[in-house]
Amino acid sequence: MNAVIKKLVAGFNDFRARYFFERQNLYRRLVSQGQKPKVAVIACADSRVDPAIVLQVEPGDIFAIRNVANLVPPFEVDEEGDVSYHGTSAALEFAVEVLGVEHIVVFGHAHCAGIQAMIDNQQQGKIAGRFIHAWTAIAAQAFHRAKTIDPNVSGEALARCCERQAVLVSLENLMSFPFIQERVDAGTLEIHGWYLDIVEGELTAYDPQRATFERLT
């Protein structure tokens, strides 16, 4: 067996021995009663920012939706009202309409390769893969907003600004989904924009009143 796969199997065995058996009642309850998370987290697929680890939650606490660059696409259907393959949109629909989550958190992070791919496409016209290019273009508006804030911004500063602005673009896209808009208006659903600095270990949340990301403590 490959050494990398062996590590995964050994990890599962450790989980089973030290975690699962100590919490069998929790897992049995989650199976018998079903999952009832109050929070959906839209996180990046980046291996360094697993929301369950970063937020130290128990099984059943969050409904995690992960994709490249933690993006929310805009709501869209074709002219006949049909839809195509929309994994993130389907997960949002399930979280809100089936599970009835009360909070949705867009969980952005620093040093995001997906956002950097979007920046490269905007600046140099490079195609970062067939699918990556189209997907990360969802956040293209973040680049234009960053340049509006500071036309001379570049490099690391540009990346950090785009990462935060992409969170705001996703928050706006969330509100394009009718079933989310309705619940937000009714006060039964709240949406949040968070940003994790993985170098400093600092978590901030967007404050719409101040139009800034404020540290969470």
Would you state the pLDDT for residue 217? 75
The listed CATH number (3.40.1480.10, 3.40.1050.10, 3.40.50.2000, 3.10.180.10) that belongs to domain 35-215: 3.40.1050.10
Contact status, residue 72 vs residue 174, Cβ threshold 8 Å? yes
Would you state the pLDDT for residue 76? 87
Q: How confident is the model at residue 108 (pLDDT cuts 50, 70, 90)?
A: very high
- Collapsing DSSP to helix, strand or coil, 104 comes out as strand
Distances (CA, A) of 59 to 25, 46, 53, 106: 12, 20, 11, 19
Q: Where are the domains of the chain?
A: 1-33, 35-215
Mean of all residue pLDDT scores within the chain = 94
Nearest Cα residue to 120 out of 150, 152, 145, 154: 154
DSSP state letter for 4: H
**E strand or H helix at 71:** none
Q: What is the pTM of this model?
A: 0.93
Would you state the pLDDT for residue 18? 87
Contact status, residue 160 vs residue 110, Cβ threshold 8 Å? yes
Looking at the predicted structure, is the pLDDT value of residue 41 above 90?
yes
**E strand or H helix at 124:** helix 113-124
Tens digit of pLDDT for each residue in 129-169? Answer: 789 989 999 999 999 999 999 999 999 999 999 999 999 99
DSSP state letter for 81: S
Would you state the pLDDT for residue 46? 97
Would you state the pLDDT for residue 82? 67
Contact status, residue 115 vs residue 164, Cβ threshold 8 Å? no
Distance CA 135, CA 109 (A): 17
**E strand or H helix at 89:** helix 87-93
